[in-house]
Amino acid sequence: MEPLIPVNIVVADRTYRIKIRTEEEEDVRRVMKEVNEKIIEFKAAYAGKDIQDYIAMALIMYATHPATSGGKAQAGVAPFLREKLQHLDNLLDEQLK
């Protein structure tokens, strides 16, 4: 089994530590940058919502449309993203309890 490296990612100004394979780091950082940009876009388009709404909207978009959500589409990245997005969603749910 390939060793995992710890990385810190930021979603909507909050830092989360996750473990990923070395070769995934570039894709993870690129996608998280795009997710944060989408959150900002949703904030501008739908003013007055809660930050979790913007996060959920951005992550749902990436989970359901990985090939059309901006950035390069890779067949091997979509399942990986679904797993990581689910992990982030669980972390967010825990923070709101």
Pair of tokens at residue 96: 């709101």
User: What pTM value is reported for the model?
Assistant: 0.64
* Rounded (5°) CA angle 63-40-86: 25
For residue 25, CA distances in Å to 66, 72, 80, 96 come to: 17, 15, 12, 28
pLDDT attached to residue 68: 52
pLDDT attached to residue 74: 45
For residue 36, CA distances in Å to 2, 3, 66 come to: 29, 27, 15
In tens digits, the chain (97 residues) has pLDDT values of: 678 999 999 999 899 999 999 999 998 898 889 889 999 999 999 888 889 899 888 888 877 775 555 544 444 555 667 777 778 777 777 776 6
